[in-house]
Structure 1
């Protein structure tokens, strides 16, 4: 048995041994992608291939912590029911022995190609290689080894290739750190997905490392999406340890000029990082992110006691309007609505509901520009103050030392949509103009929702 086969078998044995304990955790999600055991982080290889959605993810099967990452793999016909597929990649070769790091997928000649970063550490010296694996059936992958090495002028913090096609040419963006230890994104191009030509730096300007870049167009505007590290908090902005956002503009590939606007945070919640997008056969730009942040108190998550940590976001459809990206849950998720628990007209009086399911959808259509207060399970609070225009999300700190908050600004609120899944909440405000993504570790037996607003409230219980 090869080392690759040994590692995959060891990981599969771990799932068989401990997976049932993980699934019984009251915090384990119903409809989000979560690890069968161990740790999940960045979504990888997000693609619709031969009509089926495929999603790969960074995975450490042997502990609820980081280490030499595998690529886990799930597939779906509807983005609701996800099927566990065989492990796609294991850290088994000299060029990826310390981790098969993040990357992307593309279809070529009826094959599914995975580009990823091989992480290598020898005597604490880091090496990084952009590697390729190929599959004819979308389930079993053959590694073809190193395709790109780190170009001059950059450190070995050089990773997370995202590949796409435009007309008859292929492009790749890679997250990078310059030798001056400044964050950036570089790009390559190819005619055949084999020989890659270095195009230079696409963008830079702040932070010490830019991770998980993605490049696409929305409504005629070019978008560079990435996760910069090294931004300091500034007022209500950049409050997580590391951020995720985008710059929008126009990229002239001939001159390599990317004229763009300022960096905009994509999500204002406590846990959101490393998103990746794909275009499906309906022409939708679909995003999935990691519901976590590197270096941000994950050792305090209560799920670690049951051998797992983190999950991914729901799939979201992106649009671009008035100079901003809007995010909305994909239409398919409405199929989760099992029954309507409540449909109420609110008139600013406080309403208390004591039987809100921990897998539920809450929709509030606001009829007057007044203050809004929502208390989820006596744990998480969402407030809107018309005098400050602040939308404020508050929750207990994971270490139990007090309360923490995240804040966004809105002239007024028109609607709020919340998708709750046992230990997570995704809040979409004003048709997806503002989004908060967060973990919520409320007491499992607490099903209380308190709301004070002026509008129409609907609550659905969700089930597969």
Structure 2
């Protein structure tokens, strides 16, 4: 049973949706096949789970503004990961332990009970932050009852202690939490439990020392894949290194093995998950087919958030496409889920394309909601694909560098770029959705994710090379 205060907060949020629905939907930059907030600000995906025949995606949501504040948990459900239905908010800031925000967390199935874990954010009268790891439950997947605090802040950490991710291993529950030590180092902290209520603090399993790798680690997710334990995490405070760590904050992973007896996690080096401008706070789940599916926030904290053109229409940010994770060696590959093919129509194909020091448009290859696939790519020089004159992808066959460049929406059209090394380019898979682009290279070996904002009428896609490039080209309209 929700408290009267929480019911009131949810009612106010629903009223906000109705009040601004026509303004939000009038935005030409509104996406067509991605999850977005009905109004206000969206950030981290939360509580990803396949439960009783449905996919559930919760998300951090500020319904009353396009700035961060006392977050709700918004809620979408789907039968296929493609067509989504908005549900009433699952959680709202209302109690002493979460009155300044129901922050990020996860979901598990506890013997048929959908159980959420989240961070309760509280600021006292002096502005001092307090954080609590909290639980809520539901038997129908739609109505949630808060059960209160299950973990208080342990010794050795600051109040930047959040984002619990819970899973089960051999009849015991485990939780990782993103943390900051009192020495101001980013950490991932492990707990275990027999009943999801009483938790034992095992200790830090990964993190920097003496300021060597960030001052705070957010949104941890630890899971087993192809015989190894993958730890996804978002370190804050990394300095740029060449083409790496170019965003304000980063998202990446470690590959290793967790010893559940000792709590020791032996792992390799940190690898970025996405090479683009907007990607953060990824979370994963296992679906009914046994696939490890990842969805992330198509944004980054403190990175030009107040300059998005969509703010004029009372909303900001979105989530990425669902991606299946495949582990090959110690490398995570990300592949757009097969269900996206359900959105395809109006197929256009050009086999055996050969470009020689030229620019070319192809009949039928344009649009605002487009899937492009280039296969069997081979060439010399540089291949460039310019989309709506505002964003372009290029690959230099000699330098072996992939580049995403866009006109900055925050700095008056100034060109900005993100890059990565890539030893070869065989396939190029691009999803364009009005004001977003997701690019998958070599079956997901590398990925670029970004937002861009172009002229409303511009649908052009231009191919160019300064030497010679050959490929097979396929294009579909999506939705």
TM range (shorter): over 0.9
**SS state at 1:56 partner:** strand
Written as runs of structure 1 = structure 2, the 5 A alignment for 1:363-378 is 363-370=373-380, 371-378=382-389
Separation in structure 1 between the aligned mates of residue 363 and residue 448 of structure 2, nearest angstrom: 24
Separation in structure 1 between the aligned mates of residue 54 and residue 71 of structure 2, nearest angstrom: 25
**SS state at 1:22 partner:** helix
Written as runs of structure 1 = structure 2, the 5 A alignment for 1:15-414 is 15-122=17-124, 123-205=126-208, 206-349=213-356, 350-353=359-362, 356-370=366-380, 371-398=382-409, 399-400=411-412, 402-414=414-426
Measure how far apart 1:312 and its partner are.
0.1
Q: CA RMSD in A?
A: 1.2
Measure how far apart 1:342 and its partner are.
4.3
Contact 2:367/2:460 (<8 A) preserved: no
Measure how far apart 1:418 and its partner are.
0.5
Q: Deviations over 1:142-183 (max 9, x none)?
A: 000010011000000000000001120110000000001110
Contact 1:342/1:458 (<8 A) preserved: yes
Contact 1:373/1:384 (<8 A) preserved: yes
Contact 2:407/2:452 (<8 A) preserved: no
Measure how far apart 1:19 and its partner are.
1.7
Contact 2:390/2:454 (<8 A) preserved: yes
Give the structure 2 partner of residue 3 of structure 1: 5
1:444 has 2:456 as partner = yes
Segments of structure 1 that go 5 or more residues without pairing to the other structure are none
| Cα 1:354/1:376, change in 2 over 3 Å | farther
Contact 1:177/1:183 (<8 A) preserved: yes
Q: Deviations over 1:16-54 (max 9, x none)?
A: 111222122111111100000000000000000001000
Separation in structure 2 between the aligned mates of residue 243 and residue 255 of structure 1, nearest angstrom: 29
**SS state at 2:306 partner:** helix
Q: Deviations over 1:286-333 (max 9, x none)?
A: 000000000000111100000000000011000100320000011101
Measure how far apart 1:353 and its partner are.
4.2
Measure how far apart 1:110 and its partner are.
1.1
| Cα 1:402/1:195, change in 2 over 3 Å | same
Contact 1:129/1:146 (<8 A) preserved: yes
Segments of structure 2 that go 5 or more residues without pairing to the other structure are none
Measure how far apart 1:257 and its partner are.
2.0
Runs of 4 or more off by more than 2 Å in structure 1? Answer: 341-345
Q: Deviations over 1:412-460 (max 9, x none)?
A: 1000000111110110000000000000111121111011341011110
Contact 2:174/2:190 (<8 A) preserved: yes
1:456 has 2:467 as partner = no
Contact 2:132/2:149 (<8 A) preserved: yes
Separation in structure 1 between the aligned mates of residue 22 and residue 347 of structure 2, nearest angstrom: 31
Separation in structure 1 between the aligned mates of residue 377 and residue 235 of structure 2, nearest angstrom: 38
Separation in structure 2 between the aligned mates of residue 42 and residue 358 of structure 1, nearest angstrom: 26
**SS state at 2:14 partner:** helix
Using the size of structure 2 for normalisation, the TM-score is 0.95
Separation in structure 2 between the aligned mates of residue 353 and residue 88 of structure 1, nearest angstrom: 46
Separation in structure 2 between the aligned mates of residue 138 and residue 299 of structure 1, nearest angstrom: 34
Alignment size in residue pairs: 463
